[in-house]
């Protein structure tokens, strides 16, 4: 009897907690720059839309510190992407597009788009389950990111789905084929894929890797990987390093001093000291170890530079497939490392006084990132999963040796990969994986690279973790390109609903590009 009552109570609890499914035309997972543009576009086209964002902030990297926009060629910015950067310019008093801005300004403009179109956003919810019938996604289930509980799960039914996340979680859980890491050069007939040893973002020769100099038995310094390094050109599952694009300010009235952070360990930065013993600081000071770009409002966009900087090389390899809990640990490790590095440079007496004094001029901005202690919560996910779709963008596309006819956007940036590993080579420390190969002209991005094979799924588009080789993705993976492709994906989803029986593979890409290109004059 007691067992039967318990079962009844459990069933009643489940029924009470279960929420009715939300039904929309288009569901977009990931409120990145691409996701915001996709949601805005679909709403403007008259579709019912739901945007799911796992955090409390939209805009991804564009609102997360990447204010020094990586462009390649501004003429590739079409449609609402052009409008976004023009609105940035208008905020700062110019009628032209502007590509350097404060995170809070980018966030405010994205909020304008959300308000103008009436985009419905569910914040702080992450993907839990994808339900398919055959090759059609029927619904997804999302859970509260902060306090997961079956009673607060939300079911979302939609005719079309767009995965705009940096991780490709919806794509993966829908059973779509994908890859992680670097293909060997032989896979697609490329020359810049696979392992690569570069002179750029490299340590000088003869930096000793051991805790006790010259003694391998003492162990390796923090940040150096054990094991055999990869051979040039061979493939592996290694991905390029992540970091934070750091926003600091030197405006005293808006500045929070950089204090010793929790979990601070100066031994993490011993390799920096060893590197500077071989190549001392120049009169450039902080710019020796950071790409230090000053933004409007007395702020910065700080990026990785040189052999030892903000990139946590090799510390992110398991991130793409990791659980949410493990990903949170990886993000926290990057936070600890980055905040600790800033403090170390300002306070460790082995750093020259003029560099320490320069660092102490800067602090965290009071008017940015108000819900995350004034430090961006957005880790730079340079690369995660990549779909294996109907067409794989490769080096040949980047070099315009191949030109697709079904294009829905353009890319124009250098074929760029940050370092993937750091090893001991002939008794000294060397970084591996950095590639920076320029391209001659903008090139087309195929619509087929946004779509899975039809037998795998007929109602999903993937404009961020799109189908591309490692080195081609290194060129495509820029925020303005993701924004353009987000708009194109939304237009394709609308066309699939209106004209193609919901099948995204049947969409006319020519019509998508024309509508996207002409949406803003």
One-character DSSP codes across 142-205: EEESSS--GGG-EEEEEEEEEE--SS-HHHHHTT--EEESB--HHHHT-SSSS----STT-PPT
**How far apart are alpha carbons 175 and 187 in whole angstroms?**
23
Segments forming the whole domain that contains residue 506: 22-180+398-413+444-517
Q: Can you give the pLDDT at residue 13? A: 40
The reply to whether 436 falls in a domain is no
**How far apart are alpha carbons 233 and 195 in whole angstroms?**
5
**How far apart are alpha carbons 170 and 164 in whole angstroms?**
9
Which pLDDT tens digits describe the chain residue by residue (521 residues)? 444 444 443 444 444 445 689 999 999 999 999 999 999 999 999 999 999 999 999 999 999 999 999 888 999 999 999 999 999 999 999 999 999 999 999 999 999 999 999 999 999 999 999 999 999 999 999 999 999 999 999 999 999 999 999 999 999 999 999 999 999 999 999 999 999 999 999 999 999 999 999 999 999 999 999 989 999 999 999 999 999 999 999 999 999 999 999 999 999 999 999 999 999 999 999 999 999 999 999 999 999 999 999 999 999 999 999 999 999 999 999 999 999 999 999 999 999 999 999 999 999 999 999 999 999 999 999 999 999 999 999 999 999 999 999 999 999 999 999 999 999 999 999 999 999 999 999 999 999 999 999 999 999 999 999 999 999 999 999 999 999 999 999 999 999 999 999 999 999 999 999 999 999 98
**How far apart are alpha carbons 216 and 222 in whole angstroms?**
14
Q: Which of 90, 364, 373 is nearest to 254 (CA)?
A: 364
Q: Can you give the pLDDT at residue 3? A: 44
Q: Can you give the pLDDT at residue 411? A: 98
**How far apart are alpha carbons 193 and 420 in whole angstroms?**
12
**How far apart are alpha carbons 429 and 314 in whole angstroms?**
14
Q: Can you give the pLDDT at residue 6? A: 45
Q: Three-class SS of residue 341? A: helix
The reply to whether 166 falls in a domain is yes
* Paired tokens of 354: 């003029």
Alpha helices in 45-128 (DSSP H): 79-91, 103-117
Could you give phi then psi for residue 149, rounded to 5 degrees? Answer: -160, 135
Q: Can you give the pLDDT at residue 19? A: 64
The reply to whether 104 falls in a domain is yes
**How far apart are alpha carbons 253 and 42 in whole angstroms?**
42
The domain total for the chain is 1
The reply to whether 71 falls in a domain is yes
Number of Cβ within a 10 Å radius of residue 158: 25
Q: Can you give the pLDDT at residue 71? A: 85
Number of Cβ within a 10 Å radius of residue 210: 18
> What SS3 string covers 280-333?
CCCCCHHHHCEEEEEECCCEEEEEECCCCCCCCCCCCCCCCCCCHHHHHHHHHH
Q: Can you give the pLDDT at residue 504? A: 98
The reply to whether 141 falls in a domain is yes
Q: Which of 475, 471, 504, 468 is nearest to 410 (CA)?
A: 475
The reply to whether 231 falls in a domain is no
Radius of gyration (C-alpha) of the chain in whole angstroms: 24
The reply to whether 134 falls in a domain is yes
Q: Where in 426-499 does DSSP place strands (E)? A: 428-432, 435-437, 443-446, 460-461
Tell me the C-alpha to C-alpha distance, in Å, between residue 362 and each of 78, 289, 345, 398.
Answer: 36, 15, 12, 39
The reply to whether 294 falls in a domain is no
Alpha helices in 348-443 (DSSP H): 353-360, 395-398
Number of Cβ within a 10 Å radius of residue 174: 24
State the pTM of this model.
0.95
Q: Can you give the pLDDT at residue 521? A: 80
CATH number reported for the structural domain that contains residue 44 in this entry = 3.50.50.60
Q: Which residues in 228-254 are b (16+ Cβ under 10 Å) and which e? A: eebeebebbebbbbbbbbbbbbeeeeb
Number of Cβ within a 10 Å radius of residue 175: 14
């Amino acid at each position: 009897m007691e067992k039967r009552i318990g079962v009844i109570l459990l069933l009643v609890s489940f029924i009470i907690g279960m929420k009715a499914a939300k039904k929309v035309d288009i569901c977009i997972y990931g409120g990145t720059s691409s996701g915001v543009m996709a949601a805005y576009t679909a709403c403007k086209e008259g579709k019912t839309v739901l945007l799911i964002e796992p955090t409390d902030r939209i805009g991804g990297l564009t609102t997360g510190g990447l204010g020094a926009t990586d462009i390649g060629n501004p003429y590739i910015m079409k449609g609402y992407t052009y409008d976004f950067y023009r609105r940035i310019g208008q905020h700062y008093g110019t009628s032209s597009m502007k590509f350097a801005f404060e995170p809070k300004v980018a966030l405010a403009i994205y909020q304008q788009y959300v308000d103008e179109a009436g985009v419905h956003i569910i914040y702080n919810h992450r993907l839990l389950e994808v339900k398919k019938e055959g090759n059609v996604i029927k619904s997804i289930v999302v859970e509260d990111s902060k306090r997961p509980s079956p009673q607060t799960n939300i079911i979302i039914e939609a005719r079309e789905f767009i995965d705009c996340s940096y991780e490709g979680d919806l794509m993966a859980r829908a059973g779509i084929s994908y890859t992680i890491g670097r293909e060997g050069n032989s896979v697609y007939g490329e020359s810049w894929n696979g392992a690569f040893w570069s002179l750029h973002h490299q340590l000088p020769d003869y930096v000793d890797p051991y805790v006790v100099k010259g003694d391998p038995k003492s162990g390796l310094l923090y940040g150096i990987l054990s094991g055999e390094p990869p051979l040039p050109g061979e493939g592996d599952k290694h991905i390029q390093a992540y970091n934070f694009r750091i926003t600091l300010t030197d405006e005293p009235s808006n500045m929070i001093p950089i204090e010793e952070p929790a979990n601070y360990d100066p031994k993490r930065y011993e390799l920096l000291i060893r590197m500077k013993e071989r190549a001392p600081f120049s009169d450039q000071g902080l710019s020796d170890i950071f790409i230090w770009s000053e933004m409007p409002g007395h702020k910065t966009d700080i990026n990785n530079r040189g052999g030892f900087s903000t990139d946590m090389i090799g510390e992110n390899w398991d991130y793409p497939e990791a659980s949410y809990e493990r990903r949170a640990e990886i993000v926290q490790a990057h936070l600890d490392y980055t905040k600790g590095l800033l403090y170390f440079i300002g306070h460790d007496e082995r750093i020259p006084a003029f560099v320490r004094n320069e660092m102490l001029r800067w602090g965290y901005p009071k008017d940015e990132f108000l819900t995350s202690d004034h430090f961006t919560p957005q880790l730079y996910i340079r690369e995660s999963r990549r779909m294996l779709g109907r067409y794989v963008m490769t080096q040949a596309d980047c070099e315009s040796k191949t030109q697709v006819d079904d294009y829905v956007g353009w890319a124009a940036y250098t074929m760029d990969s940050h370092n993937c590993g750091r090893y001991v080579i002939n008794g000294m420390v060397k970084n591996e994986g950095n590639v920076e190969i320029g391209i001659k002209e903008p090139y087309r991005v195929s619509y087929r690279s946004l779509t899975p094979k039809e037998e795998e799924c007929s109602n999903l588009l993937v404009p961020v973790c799109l189908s591309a080789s490692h080195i081609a993705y290194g060129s495509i993976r820029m925020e303005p390109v993701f924004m353009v492709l987000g708009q194109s994906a939304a237009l394709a989803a609308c066309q699939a609903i209106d004209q193609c029986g919901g099948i995204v593979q049947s969409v006319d890409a020519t019509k998508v590009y024309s509508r996207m290109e002409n949406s803003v004059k």
